[in-house]
Amino acid sequence: MTGIAILTPDPADLSFASSWPGVLERLRTALARADVQATPTPWTAHVDNADALAAYPLVLPLLAWGYHTDHARWLRACETWEAAGIPLANPPRVLAWNSDKAYLQRLADRGVAVPPTVWTDKVSQRELDEAFEATGASQMIVKPTVSGGAWKTLRVRRGDALHDAPTGAAMIQPYLPAIESEGETSMLFFGGRLSHVVNKRPATGDFRIQVQYGGVYRLLAEPPAGALELAEQTLREIDEPLLYARIDAVRAEDGRWMLMEAELIEPDFYLGHDPQGGVAFAQAVRALLG
């Protein structure tokens, strides 16, 4: 077997202790079928010295959960890995810029459909009220630009006072009601090819689609009309050598599909919903290893 590494959470961060081992096992099982053995190692063990990673022909950052709570250290690690020439997939430069959702504005500037977004260094009630007036939306989503798993994400209704706002750089977007009626569509790509599609819906009365908040996931036979076109356009505009990508999209009230996120760091591949159990992922890794 060919040995590779998978970056895992900081052992001192117990937030994910009950969930990441199961995801790791699904990844390792899929890779083993392609004669690849994956060794877990905490990303925080290689921030300033990448020598231990240099021994591997490939390093996957697929479980580097929690980087958003220590973003400065994450960026420093990406610089270390880039300078050392560590064979990371996706590349360290991608792991750096994709960790800040300000990349959505760059994609919007290139013609990718993204919900109208207000970017701010520190969100205020005035900015929120102005966003309501500018968009005519009845609800807004407020979240940090560096975030994960709906961390510090708020849904605010028109006329409500802003409470518990995220500190630091944040984004304000109109809430898309289709998230409750139709759900969010996640399209998984490996080696540039679509593997499978998963629909995610929040629990009744919630807006967060993550499983820890009661989100319900189901496999789709194919992407909804228009969603795949948006995903392919997004990947063309990113134009990076990506081993994997998860493109999340939601339909706006005017029927257009909107990019919510291009997750290129540590996406859940939803291998439990993949009819092939991760075969396309493992094949893409095997092809990259040569």
pLDDT reading at 195 higher than 70: yes
Question: Sorting pLDDT into bands at 50, 70 and 90, what band is 150?
Answer: low
Give the pLDDT confidence score for residue 205 in this predicted structure.
78
Give the pLDDT confidence score for residue 286 in this predicted structure.
97
pLDDT reading at 149 higher than 80: no
More confident residue, 154 or 184: 184
Give the pLDDT confidence score for residue 162 in this predicted structure.
87
Mean pLDDT of 58-67: 96
pLDDT reading at 214 higher than 90: no
Q: In whole angstroms, what is the distance from residue 4 CA to residue 86 CA?
A: 12
237: left (phi over 0), alpha (psi -120 to 50) or beta: alpha
Buried b (16+ CB within 10 A) or exposed e, 142-178: bbbbbbbbbebbbebeeeeebeebbeebbbbbbbbbb
| 3-state secondary structure (DSSP) of residue 270 | coil
pLDDT digits (tens, 9 = 90+) for 111-148: 999 999 999 999 999 999 999 999 999 999 999 999 87
User: How many helices and strands (H and E) does the chain possess?
Assistant: 8, 12
Q: In whole angstroms, what is the distance from residue 159 CA to residue 140 CA?
A: 11
pLDDT reading at 13 higher than 70: yes
pLDDT digits (tens, 9 = 90+) for 156-183: 999 888 888 888 999 999 999 999 999 9
Mean pLDDT of 250-277: 95
Chain centroid to Cα 43, Å, comes to 17
More confident residue, 277 or 148: 277
Give the pLDDT confidence score for residue 15 in this predicted structure.
84
pLDDT reading at 104 higher than 90: yes
Point out which residues pair with 79 in neighbouring strands.
Answer: none
CA distances from 107 to 44, 118, 191 (A): 30, 15, 21
232 contact partners, CB below 8 Å, separation of at least 6 = none
More confident residue, 223 or 212: 223
Closest by CA position to 49, among listed 92, 11, 81, 7: 81
